[in-house]
Amino acid sequence: MGVKSRPEKAGKAVLVLKDESFFIGKGFGAVGKISGEVVFSTGMVGYPESLTDPSYHGQILTLTYPLIGNYGVPAYDGDEFGVPVRFESLGIKVAGLIIQELCLKPYHWASSRTLDEWLRSEGVPGIYGIDTRRLTKRLREKGVMLGILQVCREGEEPNLGSLVKEVKNVQDPNRRDLAGEVTIKEPIYYDCKGNKRVVLIDCGSKASIIRNLLKRHVDVVRAPYNFSTKEILEYKPDGVLVSNGPGDPKKCVSTIETVRSLVEEGISIMGICLGSQILALAMGGDTYKLKYGHRSQNQPVLDLETGCCYITTQNHGYAVSFESLKGTNLKCWFINANDKTVEGIKLKNKSSFAVQWHPEAAPGPYDTESLFDEFLRRVG
């Protein structure tokens, strides 16, 4: 019987951005080197949910809140349907993590391990002890950019000169079909003996979306993102929900075509985040990449019909073009109060709609969770 090797202890760490700027700090989590798109979130809580959100696949996440890890990490417990209770998926989805201060002695009744232990066990590198305010200001001014994060073994030094050269050749993960990398491979049926059935097109769905449907007594068929219209209709759904997910929505070619066909079939559709962009593309609209995206739990959105403002949880780097909606059967429903970007759309004279934020929150305010009820009213 072999002896199980102990994980290597992290030493120095360095983050190098494509503009040749760099940040030297201390490593935690796994020893190793990864690359990805460096983004930031201004959320104050919810690191277990954020790190397991599939929408962050391919990204190196910066958390701007100064102290992270203070309430530890809970266990991967599932509910009666096997859906994670305190996470948004099974396993960390970010490529790497950047924070200012790491708490190594957390205190919370549900904590089962430290953030450092969690990242190490899943092979995810992290860096702390850097000026995350300076990094965030750089990303706001120049836009999100590609980078390399290296965590060295204890006692080793990073080769900064080599990393500065290497980062110039890092491939943009958004050129890949990221949603295809995180979608499920086979359909999963969640049977709660409900009075309605919804097919959830999984482009990287958060667990909280599934939980919100189940608690409303809706049976859920979670389908791969490339399921055809015919395969979806075989389940005889009352409605279809297109989930959140990572990357460029234009890479979801088959999903866009399926959504277009489902609308023509008269199926009611709700889109969340990436799902909103997919609905827009399916109906003839267009999308574009934001300079640094919206990633936080305090994004204000305005309802153009009522004038009401809601505080929302968001995590996206792409948006729907307002101008592109002209001439389509779509109308803008919500806009972002800060930058006036499109935050919600609806199909004219139809029952389908989509929002750019996360009404399921997790983490964040639950002010707009009623949109699930609105969707279920529309499906009849």
User: Is the link from the previous residue into 66 a cis peptide, with omega within 30 of 0?
Assistant: no
Length of the chain: 380
- For residue 5, being part of any structural domain is answered with no
Calculate the alpha carbon distances from 13 to 70, 102, 154, 271, 360 in Å: 21, 14, 10, 39, 35
Residue 374 CA to residue 269 CA, distance in Å, equals 11
Strands (E), the chain: 10-17, 22-29, 32-41, 59-63, 67-68, 96-98, 101-102, 125-128, 145-153, 188-190, 196-202, 218-224, 239-242, 268-272, 287-303, 309-320, 330-336, 342-347, 353-355
Give the structural domain span for 272: 178-378
Torsion angle in degrees (nearest 10) through CA of 110, 90, 188, 354? 90
Give the pLDDT confidence score for residue 8 in this predicted structure.
Answer: 85
Choose, from 37, 49, 343, 360, the residue flagged as catalytic: 360
4 assigned to some structural domain:
no
Asked if residue 287 belongs to a domain, the reply is yes
Q: How much is the pLDDT for 155?
A: 93
* Residues 140 and 182 occupy one common structural domain: no
Residue 2 falls within a domain, yes or no? no
Q: What's the burial of 34, exposed, middle or buried (CB within 10 Å: 0-12/13-18/19+)?
A: middle
pLDDT at 119: 98
pLDDT of residue 180: 98
Q: How many CB atoms lie within 10 A of CB 83?
A: 21
- Ramachandran angles phi, psi of 331, nearest 5°: -130, 150
Q: d(Cα 36, Cα 17) in Å, to the nearest integer? A: 10
Answer yes or no: do 190 and 70 share one domain. no
**Is 57 marked active-site?**
no
Same domain? For 95 and 190 the reply is no
Pick the catalytic residue: 57, 294, 316, 358? 358
End-to-end CA distance of the chain: 60
Q: 273 an active-site residue? A: yes
Six-digit token string for 212: 């919100």
Q: What is the per-residue pLDDT for 6?
A: 59
Pick the catalytic residue: 49, 88, 273, 316? 273
pLDDT recorded at residue 197: 98
Question: What CATH code is carried by the domain that includes residue 48?
Answer: 3.50.30.20
SS3 251: helix
pLDDT for 165: 97
Spell out, as residue ranges, where the chain has pLDDT lower than 50: 1-5
Spatial separation of the C-alpha atoms in residues 97 and 300, rounded to whole Å: 26
Please count the structural domains in the chain.
2
Assess whether 360 carries a catalytic annotation.
Answer: yes
In whole angstroms, how far apart are CA 18 and each of 37, 144, 156, 308, 377?
A: 10, 10, 23, 41, 48
Q: Does 185 share its domain with 113?
A: no
Q: Are residues 202 and 116 in the same domain?
A: no
Phi and psi at 137, nearest 5°, equal -60, -35
